[in-house]
Each structure stands twice: as structure tokens, then as C-alpha cells.
């Protein structure tokens, strides 16, 4: 299958592209499209055969449910059994935007979308292209991130193309996504609201609206054998570069010291080393690079900065691109600096932890 890549930077001038994409959705095909978080691979959420194509294209396990995207609050009625008061508070404050809410589902949501669960994940994206596509299609759109299963989520149309070319008919290219990490997933179907996946709508923001919010234990620890995942996606290895990742946690000056030591050791053993740094520390690693005498040795060290620790939202926006870039460099090991867990930092640490298979080194 040929994969068409169509630019939609100026939504007013691109109504044709959106119309074509909507037509594909209505015909039961898949289309990749930008959202404010990451690119999604969409299909008509009410058409099980169309949704099946998403699972096939991504190689996604059938027991991992999808998020349904809507552009109008009225669509909630059709998809849910009932909507709690808390949900309306959250919707008022955070929709459209990067918050996915888990509801009790109605019978009109096909089982394949929810992987047989009796709940459904719903969000209203704020990206103008995503909103226009849903509106023009006239149906709710089920969409996971548009990467092949296990890879970092795509933050540009190029990432989607690299992963899914030949397997989907169309990609709407809206440039780089804004948030850069997937939406926050919040379950409000139980006694207390629980964050299943941290994201751009932070724990602190949710606390302000809800008072009390819990973090699912699966966010920072691997699932024990036999413990059921609250969010099935949590049991899969994710965001994973080819090389093993180790995250260093603790005081920032000690972090750089320990990572420099570990990197030197790997280099001595003839390994190619990738370092995920921050603006505050990348100079230290660059100094190490300068000390490597010959060109060959310098090629063995790839240093990428996520951005400044002062701006966690910026670091979040770069994370997946960094993981892909460091992968392309063909390194043998990746050493990553941990960041503060406040604000977007919580989501950054969650994605890093998953990429590292929860492999941490505490330096304090």
C-alpha cells in the first residue's frame, strides 16, 4: 500500500486534505494525524473492522485498549453509560486538551476498542487538525499513538512514516507536536481518581480540581507477576530504544559525576555510549568528549540534551525525538539523567523508566 504524506500546516488552506482523510475514515480506513500530544493512528471507533486495521498496522497486542477521540461534548452520551460530576469538572477545565478520562462504557462502543473492558478511554484533542478531522468524519475516532508497537510515540509525521510506511494509506503532516508526550490517563470509575499514565495535564493540576488524586503503582514499578494492570498498556515494554537504558537519580552534580565514570568505563571497553543529559550538565560530558583524543573515539560518544531543567515542558517535548535520535546513532548503552518529578517531570520520568525497563541507579 502506498502511504501518502500530506502537509496541513495551515488548516484553512488544507480543507481538501482533511476532507480526503475524513473520507478514508468513513470508508473504514486508517489515517495518521497530529494531535497536541503525539501523532495518532485513527479509525472509525464504531466500526470494528476499521479498528482492527489499527491493531494490524501497529502490531499492537489485542488486549491493549484504544482511546476514543471526540470533538464535541455531546458525543459522550453515545459512548458512556453515565458521566460522574467529577468528569464534568475535569472536562470544563481541561478539554479540549491532553487529558484522557476513563468512563463506564455504553454498548455502542465495540469490544475491540476497549479490549473487552467495560470501561472506555475518551479524550477531546485541542489540535486544530485533529478536531477538524473528527468533525469532518462525523464519527468518534479511535486512535493509539501512531508508532509501531513498542517504539517511542511519534512527535512528527516523519516518525510516523518511518514506522508505518506501506501499512497505512495517509498521514496528515501538521509539523512537530506541542506537548510531545501522550495524554494523561485518569480513571474516575473507582472510589478515588487514579492517574494511570502521567502526561501534560499534571498531578498538581488534577489535585487542584479534584482534591485527592492517586498515582497508579504501575507508573514507577514493573508489574509484579500476577498483578493485573489497571491500564493494560502498562504491562508492555515501551518507548524502548534498541540499546539498554540506565537512569541515574539523585543530586545533579553527583549525577554527572557518576554518568561520566560509567561512560568512561564503557568507552574503555570499546562500547558506543549515548548520554541523555540536560542543558545544565551537557557541558560536563562535552568536556569528556574533548578529552577523547582521536576522531574514532569521539564518534563513540553521543550526547543529547533534553533541554533545561527549568522548563520541564520543553524537556518533555523533546524526549521521544531524543530517544529516536540516540537509537539512530547506533549506541550500545544509554545513560540517562533523571529529572525532578514535579509538573511534567513526572511524565518524563515515567516514560524514561519504561524505556529503561525500570533500571535505576541511585547516586545519593
Q: Is 37 in the site for Mg ion (CB under 5 A)?
A: no
Least gap, CB of 67 to ligand TXA (angstroms): 5
Least gap, CB of 43 to ligand TXA (angstroms): 12
In the set 117, 215, 252, 363, which binds ligand TXA (CB under 6 A)?
117
In the beta sheet, which residues pair with residue 172? 6
Neighbours of 330 (CB within 10 A): 11
Q: Is 350 in the site for Mg ion (CB under 5 A)?
A: no
End-to-end CA distance of the chain: 53
In the set 233, 312, 338, 345, which binds ligand TXA (CB under 6 A)?
233
Which range binds Mg ion by CB under 5 A, 79-87, 115-123, 137-145, 155-163?
137-145
Least gap, CB of 209 to ligand TXA (angstroms): 19
Which range binds ligand TXA by CB under 6 A, 1-9, 14-22, 75-83, 228-236?
228-236
18-37 residues in contact with ligand TXA (CB under 6 A) are 35, 37
**Backbone phi, then psi, for 195, in 5-degree steps?**
-80, 115
The pairing of strands 170-173 and 4-7 is parallel
Q: Which residue lies nearest ligand TXA, judged by its C-beta?
A: 233
Size of the residue set binding Mg ion (CB under 5 A): 2
Neighbours of 88 (CB within 10 A): 12
- Rounded to whole angstroms, the Cα distance separating 228 from 15 reads 44
Q: Is the CB of 75 or the CB of 182 nearer to ligand TXA?
A: 182
Q: Is 102 in the site for ligand TXA (CB under 6 A)?
A: yes
How far CA 150 is from CA of 118, 135, 236, 347, in Å, comes to 25, 30, 8, 17
Q: Is the CB of 121 or the CB of 259 nearer to Mg ion?
A: 121
Least gap, CB of 136 to Mg ion (angstroms): 24
Q: Is 145 in the site for Mg ion (CB under 5 A)?
A: yes
Binding mask 137-176 for ligand TXA (x = CB under 6 A): ------xxx-------------------------------
- Rounded to whole angstroms, the Cα distance separating 349 from 344 reads 9
Least gap, CB of 153 to Mg ion (angstroms): 5
Q: Is 347 in the site for ligand TXA (CB under 6 A)?
A: no
- Residue 198 touches which of ligand TXA, Mg ion, none (CB < 5 to 8 A by kind)? none
Q: Is the CB of 119 or the CB of 278 nearer to ligand TXA?
A: 119
- Residue 185 touches which of ligand TXA, Mg ion, none (CB < 5 to 8 A by kind)? ligand TXA
Angle between helices 203-210 and 85-94 (to 10 degrees): 130
Q: Taking a C-beta distance cutoff of 8 angstroms, is the pair 213, 361 a contact?
A: no
**Rg, the chain, Cα only:** 21
Q: Is 114 in the site for ligand TXA (CB under 6 A)?
A: yes
In the set 137, 183, 278, 281, which binds ligand TXA (CB under 6 A)?
183
Residues engaged in binding Mg ion (CB under 5 A): 144-145
Residues engaged in binding ligand TXA (CB under 6 A): 35, 37-38, 40, 64-67, 98, 100, 102, 114, 117, 119-121, 143-145, 182-183, 185, 196-197, 231-233
Amino acid at each position: 500500500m502506498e502511504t501518502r504524506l500530506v502537509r496541513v500546516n495551515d488548516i484553512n488552506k488544507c480543507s481538501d486534505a482533511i476532507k480526503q482523510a475524513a473520507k478514508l475514515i468513513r470508508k473504514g480506513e486508517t489515517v495518521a494525524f497530529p494531535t497536541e500530544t503525539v501523532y495518532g493512528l485513527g479509525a472509525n471507533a464504531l466500526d470494528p473492522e476499521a479498528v482492527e486495521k489499527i491493531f494490524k498496522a501497529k502490531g499492537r497486542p489485542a488486549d491493549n485498549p484504544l482511546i476514543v477521540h471526540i470533538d464535541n461534548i455531546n458525543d459522550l452520551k453515545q459512548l458512556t453509560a453515565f458521566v460522574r460530576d467529577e468528569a464534568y469538572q475535569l472536562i470544563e477545565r481541561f478539554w479540549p486538551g491532553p487529558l484522557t478520562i476513563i468512563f463506564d462504557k455504553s454498548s455502542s462502543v465495540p469490544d475491540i476498542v476497549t479490549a473487552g473492558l467495560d470501561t472506555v478511554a475518551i479524550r477531546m484533542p485541542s489540535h486544530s487538525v485533529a478536531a477538524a478531522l473528527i468533525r469532518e468524519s462525523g464519527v468518534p475516532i479511535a486512535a493509539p499513538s501512531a508508532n509501531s508497537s513498542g517504539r517511542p510515540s511519534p512527535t512528527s509525521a516523519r516518525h510516523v512514516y518511518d514506522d508505518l510506511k506501506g501499512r497505512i494509506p495517509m498521514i496528515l503532516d501538521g509539523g512537530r507536536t506541542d506537548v510531545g508526550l501522550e495524554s494523561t490517563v485518569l480513571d474516575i470509575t473507582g472510589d478515588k481518581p487514579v492517574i494511570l499514565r502521567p502526561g501534560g495535564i499534571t498531578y498538581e493540576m488534577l489535585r487542584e480540581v479534584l482534591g485527592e488524586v492517586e498515582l497508579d503503582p504501575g507508573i514507577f514499578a514493573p508489574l509484579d507477576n500476577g498483578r493485573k494492570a489497571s491500564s493494560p498498556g502498562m504491562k508492555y515494554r515501551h518507548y524502548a530504544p534498541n540499546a539498554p537504558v540506565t537512569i541515574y537519580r539523585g543530586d545533579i552534580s553527583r549525577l554527572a559525576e557518576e554518568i561520566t565514570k560509567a561512560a568512561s568505563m564503557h568507552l574503555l571497553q570499546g562500547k558506543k555510549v549515548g548520554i541523555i543529559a540536560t542543558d545544565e550538565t551537557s557541558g560536563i560530558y562535552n568536556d569528556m568528549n574533548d578529552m577523547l583524543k582521536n576522531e574514532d573515539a569521539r564518534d563513540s560518544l553521543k550526547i543529547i540534551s533534553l533541554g533545561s531543567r527549568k522548563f520541564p515542558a520543553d524537556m518533555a517535548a523533546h524526549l521521544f525525538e531524543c530517544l529516536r535520535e540516540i537509537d539512530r546513532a547506533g549506541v550500545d548503552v544509554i545513560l540517562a539523567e533523571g529529572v525532578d518529578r514535579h509538573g511534567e517531570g513526572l511524565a518524563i520520568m515515567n516514560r524514561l523508566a519504561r524505556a529503561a525497563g525500570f533500571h535505576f541507579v541511585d547516586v545519593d
